[in-house]
């Protein structure tokens, strides 16, 4: 193998740049050229491709976002889109691709692998919702951002003796909400994986108030069935505690990656290069029980990530 490509796809995540850097330098160390593909699969089809060298990835390990830009590309879901991408790979002499993104991006990597371009996926999303890995690049930074933001909300909630109802990202998953909720000491954490009656949350607030608690934080995953605005209204009516809703939004996707994200991205990028350079494609790398692992993409996409109900229970017990 003489030349590979690297792209970032789907929602960006802090640490993607560290992964790109690791991919480029790991490949160069094996004498393999690396082409940076801009704007994910869309840029692959439209030939937005430039060569990367060791210096192209200098000074990016600490930066959020992705220097390669990211995109969502509906055209790539169709066979014609994948075939077009294969032609571009042939034209540019790209013999394998490292795809840094979430499970949607891995589906694209599988399609491309099946058409003869070996692709290896590197898990990167703030949602930590990829089943084949315990950890996804970006999760730790996003959790820290949420905690930082909610600490600020706590200051004002404390001053006004209010309840702050905060929506965090996560798409259909509650991993970000759970961990951040524990870290900010939320009275309740509402996630799509667990049914919860808001009346029960209000009862908990009433009990805590009688015990002297004066301000409250409720962390809500965006995939939960009731919106933060509605939850705030219900809490205010049922408990008499003045409540405010906040949607943290895309601030959670930005910022300098934490140590964990930089290190994890560096290891996972390196592992992906090891595979693709042997001509092994249709794989995703991941991190399980302290080890770097890899799986067939199809198998990885069939896996189910269990929600840690035991930890949710602990969070519930210690919030009173
Ligand atoms: P993520 O990778 O973060 O889960 P998306 O689900 O938006 O993000 O997927 C990113 C891109 O991956 C899509 O825009 C599309 O180009 C490609 N993709 C997603 N699903 C598929 C699929 N089923 N088949 C082929 N390509 C897909
Ligand atoms: O997958 C990452 C994520 O930030 C989700 O948490 C969120 O649901 C989604 O992407 C938002 O996507 P967009 O950037 O298209 O608004």
CA distance between the termini of the chain: 59
Ligand 2 atom 14 nearest Cα? 11
Residue 294 alpha carbon to ligand 2 centre in Å? 25
Kindly list the strands in the beta sheet with 216-221, ordered across the sheet, starting from the edge strand earlier in the chain: 188-190, 216-221, 163-168, 243-247
**Active-site residue set:** 127
SS3 content of the chain, % helix, strand, coil (to 5): 45, 20, 35
Going by alpha carbons, the residue nearest to atom 20 of ligand 1 is: 104
Tens place of pLDDT per residue across the chain (320 aa) = 999 999 999 999 999 999 999 999 999 999 999 999 999 999 999 999 999 999 999 999 999 999 999 999 999 999 999 999 999 999 999 999 999 999 999 999 999 999 999 999 999 999 999 999 999 999 999 999 999 999 999 999 999 999 999 999 999 999 999 999 999 999 999 999 999 999 999 999 999 999 999 999 999 999 999 999 999 999 999 999 999 999 999 999 999 999 999 999 999 999 999 999 999 999 999 999 999 999 999 999 999 999 999 999 999 999 98
Q: What is residue 41's predicted lDDT score, i.e. its pLDDT?
A: 98
Which ligand is nearest to the Cα of residue 177, counting in written order? 2
Residue 122 backbone dihedrals phi, psi, to 5 degrees: -120, 120
Length of the chain: 320
pLDDT of residue 320: 85
Q: What is the DSSP string of 194-260?
A: S---HHHHHHHHHHHHHTT---EEEEEETTSSS-HHHHHHHHHHHH---EEEEE-GGGGG-SPPPHH
DSSP three-state, residue 113: helix
Residues in contact with ligand 2 by the CB-under-6-Å rule are: 11, 102, 125-127, 169-171, 222, 253
Residue ranges and CATH numbers for the domains of the chain are: 3-138+257-302 (3.40.50.450), 140-253 (3.40.50.460)
The pLDDT of residue 114 is 97
Per the CB < 8 A criterion, the answer to whether 235 and 201 are in contact is yes
Ligand sitting nearest the alpha carbon of 253: 2
């Amino acid at each position: 193998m003489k030349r590979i490509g690297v792209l970032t796809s789907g929602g960006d995540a802090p640490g993607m740049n560290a992964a790109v850097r690791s991919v480029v330098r790991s490949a160069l160390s094996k004498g393999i050229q690396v082409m940076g593909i801009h704007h994910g699969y869309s840029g692959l089809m439209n030939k937005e491709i430039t060569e990367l060298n060791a210096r192209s990835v200098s000074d990016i390990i600490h930066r959020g976002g992705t220097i390669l830009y990211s995109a969502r590309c509906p055209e790539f879901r169709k066979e014609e889109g994948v075939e077009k991408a294969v032609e571009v790979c042939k034209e540019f002499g790209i013999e394998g691709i490292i795809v840094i993104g979430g499970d949607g991006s891995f589906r694209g990597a599988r399609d491309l692998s099946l058409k003869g371009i070996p692709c290896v996926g590197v898990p990167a999303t703030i949602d930590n919702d990829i089943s084949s890995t315990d950890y996804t690049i970006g999760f730790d930074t996003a959790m820290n951002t949420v905690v930082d933001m909610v600490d600020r909300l706590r200051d004002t909630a404390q001053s006004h003796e209010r309840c702050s109802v905060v929506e965090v990202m996560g798409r259909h998953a509650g991993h970000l909400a759970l961990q951040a909720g524990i870290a900010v000491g939320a009275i309740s954490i509402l996630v799509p994986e667990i049914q919860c009656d808001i009346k029960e949350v209000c009862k908990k607030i009433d009990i805590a108030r009688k015990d002297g608690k004066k301000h409250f934080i409720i962390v809500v995953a965006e995939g939960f069935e009731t919106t933060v605005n509605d939850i705030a209204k219900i809490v205010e009516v049922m408990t008499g505690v003045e409540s405010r809703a906040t949607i943290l939004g895309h601030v959670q996707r930005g910022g300098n990656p934490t140590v964990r994200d930089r290190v994890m991205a560096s290891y996972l990028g390196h592992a992906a290069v090891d595979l693709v350079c042997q001509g092994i494609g249709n794989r995703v790398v991941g991190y399980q029980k302290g080890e770097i692992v890899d799986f067939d993409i199809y198998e990885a996409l069939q896996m189910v990530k269990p929600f840690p109900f035991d930890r949710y229970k602990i969070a519930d017990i210690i919030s009173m």
